[in-house]
Structure 1
Amino acid sequence: MSDPATAREQVSVTPGPSPHEVRDEATRNELRKAAVWLGMASAIALIVLLIQPLLIIFAGLVFAALLDGGVRLLGRVLPIGRGWRLLIVCLLTIAFLFGTFYLAGVQITDQVMQLRSTIEAQIGRAASWLSSHGLMPGVSDLSGMARQALSSVGRVTSWLGTAAGAITSLFMIMVIGLFVAMDPHIYERGLQWMIPAAQRTEFALTLRRMGETLRRLLAGRLLGMAFEGVLTAVALWIAGVPMALILGIMTGLLAFIPNVGAFISGALMVAVGFSAGVHTGVVAIVVYIVVQTFDGYVVIPMVAKRTVDLPPALTLGAQIMASALFGILGLALADPMTAMVKAAMERRAERLEEDGATPSED
């Protein structure tokens, strides 16, 4: 029998299960919430630590999308297996690069050396003129500022600072892209396996949309690069500007990065033009303006209708942030990243419209 004094005493009992009662549903819910937050924090820390390898893997996926686009295009005219079409695309690419640099190798090498010395001389003249008018620090102070700025570059971009690192990274990108392009469905199935079964259909549709967007973007970039490079080289050669071939090749390569690449190629073109005289420099400026105007108002709108329509301000903002965070590799991959994110968000908006949950109806 219980003690009457104990029965009359009022006590306060804390409700709810204790932390060690894992079998309780409320405890398991709290543990799941804590695991989600801990996983997100760990994932962010892991991304920060492994950002450079992740960028190399993403560059390999971009290269795989480029090869896959060529394989799909070749499949429209050659009804053969995918492996044979991929082999033909790789051989054609190697033959084009080898033929270009073999036929014009000596000329390109000479023009590269001339371009380097010309740019260094023009920068020195410009810096001296500005320093003499008090518009900027002296050349020695400018060199010290440049060394200080380069020494402050973070660890993120230091891994690609050497030629050996760049060559190794390029080789890894090509190998990853080649393996993925051989059979992309294997990796797609692997990604789907990591997604909950209820969301796999939507994930597959979003992934396919992102792949199509990336292929269209790269096709448009290649077309624009080829057109801009050939047009620049021919126009400079007709105008008598020195080193027209190497300037055309560099303009075509830099066209892969919109806005920033056009500015850099224009600066090189003008510097080389003024190294041959004031008249040639003015002609180089005219050629640059004509090529960029024609490319901006004729070529890019025509290509954008069949590829990805990225707003210029969005593209430039993404390039600025990617270059500040990830260096030159991030700058080169800013457009593919932006296009894929845009495709995923558009697919999400379409899904909301299909479910009747648009923001205007809420």
Structure 2
Amino acid sequence: MFGRHARRELEDRVTRLETGERPRASRERIAAGEGARRAWGDGFGLLATRALQVIIVLILTTAVIWGMRELTTVVIPILLALIFASTFAPVTEWLRRRRVPAALAAVIVLLGIVALLTGVGWLVVWAVRDQWDDLSAQAQDGFAQVVEWSKTLPFMPDEAQLHEWGEQIVDFLTSAQFGSGALAGVGVVTNFITGLVLMIVVLFFFLKDGPTIWRFLLRPFSGEALARAERSGTKVVETLGSYVRGTAGVAAVDAVGIGIGLLILQVPLALPLAALVFVLAFIPIVGATVAGILAALVALVANGPINAIIVVGVVIVVNQLEGNFLQPVLMGRALKLHSLVILLALTIGTVLSGILGAVLAVPIAAVAWGVIKVWDGPDTPAKWARPHRRQ
């Protein structure tokens, strides 16, 4: 009996194979699979797929940002070392072409960086330190005069609201937190010294063994992935170096131009204001605005409203020359980001890491855009970032 049952099953299988008929369970599984594919293949399914992909990307991005914030003492020094190494890469390459040993070239460049930063820092501190109290007092008096004048306008907020806004702005601009908040507290000082030492050590090895370190990091890649990684690394170094060198040049020209204008107009504290212009110029858009406001408030208190208006005009002219002439020449049009992108990057950087985040946000955004522009080739952006061809 068992033999007849087995023979009947075998005959049924042969019949199904000959006729192309599938077993019922297989047909049900196939139907279920086709139904699932149809469900994920229509418009709602595609939307769900994209939403799931976006959620995964956001989770990974959040995890990376959280990890970087937890390891700020390590991440920030490495990032600053990379920026300085990229900025002075032409000097390092020039020394190596002159057959200077790698270690000696790294020491020479590192000492030059330390001397340059120390000199610039000393000039800024020397210019601002002794006159900071006068500068803050005149800025507060100037803001008070602006508030008094605004009371005569019919559309301005009430006095209490203006007073509250004024206290918040003046406290931020003239407080110790704005000038030296990063050094407040023993723990923060310790982290600062640790980060500074780590940055110097990492910078030395980047200057000495940068190409070797980069080749080691490229070992997992091959083929097109290797070519893409090489293009991206070259673009990162070029973008960071061009951005920092260009920004420093623009900041110096801004400081000299506005400083000369303040001296001609006989505005007090012209040298400290010019030093602040140089420092704040490393924060695009916002820095120039803050520096112009401070200069105008001091001119308002010292020389009256007409002089303050002229100072505002000088700041606007210098900023226009910077945006339309200096930046394209010193930094290249390829590095010029849209103002909206800059503002968004500044906001995100400030929220995540304060003033240091605001300073680093724009070069990081420029690097990201630069990598996207060489993603599929030396002059071929990623597919989604390419402009549409008009028919």
Structure ID, larger Rg: 2
C-alpha distance 236-146 of structure 1, shift in aligned 2 (>3 A): closer
Instruction: Say whether 1:318 aligns with 2:351.
Output: no
C-alpha distance 53-118 of structure 1, shift in aligned 2 (>3 A): farther
1:52 maps to amino acid? R
Alpha-carbon separation, structure 2, partners of 1:137 and 1:3: 102
Q: Which residue number in structure 1 is paired with residue 264 of structure 2? A: 238
1:222 maps to amino acid? A
TM superposition shift of 1:205: 2.1
Alignment of structure 1 residues 181-330 onto 2, 5 Å:
181-195=207-221, 199-278=225-304, 279-305=306-332, 308-330=335-357
The alignment partner of 1:50 has SS state of helix
TM superposition shift of 1:47: 1.8
TM-score, normalised via structure 1 length: 0.72
1:199 maps to amino acid? A
C-alpha distance 86-328 of structure 1, shift in aligned 2 (>3 A): same
Alignment of structure 1 residues 134-149 onto 2, 5 Å:
135-136=157-158, 138=160, 142=164, 146=168
Alignment of structure 1 residues 63-78 onto 2, 5 Å:
63-73=81-91, 75-76=93-94
Residue correspondences, number: 332
TM superposition shift of 1:55: 6.2
What is the aligned-residue RMSD (CA, Å)? Answer: 4.4
1:204-235 CA-partner distances (Å, limit 9, x unpaired):
22211222122111111111112212222233
Alpha-carbon separation, structure 1, partners of 2:368 and 2:57: 20
TM superposition shift of 1:82: 3.4
Unaligned residue ranges in structure 2 (runs of 5+): 10-22, 31-52, 173-180
Alpha-carbon separation, structure 2, partners of 1:355 and 1:254: 34
1:310 maps to amino acid? L
Identity score, percent: 20
Q: Which residue number in structure 2 is paired with residue 95 of structure 1? A: 115
Whether the 8 Å contact between 2:82 and 2:203 is mirrored in structure 1 is: yes
1:201 maps to amino acid? A
1:239 maps to amino acid? L
TM-score, normalised via structure 2 length: 0.67
Whether the 8 Å contact between 1:210 and 1:344 is mirrored in structure 2 is: yes
C-alpha distance 337-100 of structure 1, shift in aligned 2 (>3 A): closer
Q: Which residue number in structure 2 is paired with residue 168 of structure 1? A: 191
Whether the 8 Å contact between 2:256 and 2:274 is mirrored in structure 1 is: yes
The alignment partner of 2:253 has SS state of helix
2:157 maps to amino acid? L
Aligned counterpart for 1:52 among listed residues 69, 81, 96 = 69
Alignment of structure 1 residues 83-162 onto 2, 5 Å:
83-99=103-119, 107-127=127-147, 130=150, 135-136=157-158, 138=160, 142=164, 146=168, 162=184
Whether the 8 Å contact between 1:217 and 1:308 is mirrored in structure 2 is: yes
Unaligned residue ranges in structure 1 (runs of 5+): 17-35, 151-158
